[in-house]
Structure 1
């Protein structure tokens, strides 16, 4: 059975995903980017929303679990100015079969394809905060993500930091 991969967009009608250069990985060749099922909640946000997520892995210490109050599968932190946008957001979840995808980053759940990919299906998603909760994610918000970034980087937690170039300074 083939694995399923996902791409989230604010565009409802993408027929063909073409390889592109990622701003986060400009030295890599053009690729189609997707996420695995376990990491889907990282993308239940408006595209430009900066966010930091963290979760436990085999390297995480009990001290960090306690310090970061990690009581759920995953914590995602956004800046408070994005909360209203998140409440109103509508996304489209594109699903792909896994034939051409290869793992790019296991920790982040990134999978890539070097060739164009047509989605198998697309579905509209709203109520994103509710979806996060149903996936076992705790949503937190802060005035600015920069202190959180420093703390998470200095920890033993597994993490993902997305669109921080849009975070407030």
Structure 2
């Protein structure tokens, strides 16, 4: 599930949103109200239940072959998404929806950018689309899903490597 040209996506478990109004997300480090969305490159970061902690790693221009093999694995593609065993059932059962939003009015946020934001209300381009089986979505995209007892040892390896990475909802990970 990726946006078409001129679109960005917002993923939600709520299929009833008719209009997105800027707000300060409880988890945001920013105090400005935004409508959050993502472009095609960051969509896979959100193919999960909302509260699911996840450690994401992928190869980039500065990634060494040694780090790619050590963390992602030989012959395992160029991206791995790790979750904890306790999140497998929610991953299999969650009904996730994608809202297509007009890309006009959204600006990149983060350094490097990891999302796009709007400071004005946004109306979806149409009804939300069911994303479908989240594990199958990863499989079709060639993204490895790894199940771990705890994300923290993996996360420490990832952030100390030459891989590019993102950690989402890590506060919900087991200690």
Q: How many positions carry a matched residue from both structures?
A: 169
Aligned to 2:117: 112
In structure 1, list runs of 5 or more residues that go unmatched. none
In structure 2, list runs of 5 or more residues that go unmatched. none
1:137 to 136, 143, 147: 143
Alignment TM-score, normalising by the size of structure 1 = 0.93
Corresponding residue SS for 1:6? strand
Corresponding residue SS for 2:171? helix
2:68–2:78 CA contact under 8 A, matched in 1: no
- Determine the C-alpha separation between the residues in 1 that align with 2:62 and 2:8: 26
Q: 2:36 matched to 1:30?
A: no
Stretch moving more, 118-127 or 99-108:
99-108
1:6–1:95 CA contact under 8 A, matched in 2: yes
Matches within 5 A, 1:38-117: 38-68=41-71, 69=73, 71-105=76-110, 107=112, 109-117=114-122
User: More strand per residue: 1 or 2?
Assistant: 1
- Determine the C-alpha separation between the residues in 1 that align with 2:100 and 2:139: 21
Corresponding residue SS for 1:100? coil
Aligned to 1:7: 10
Q: Which consecutive segments of 4 or more residues in structure 1 shift more than 6 A?
A: none
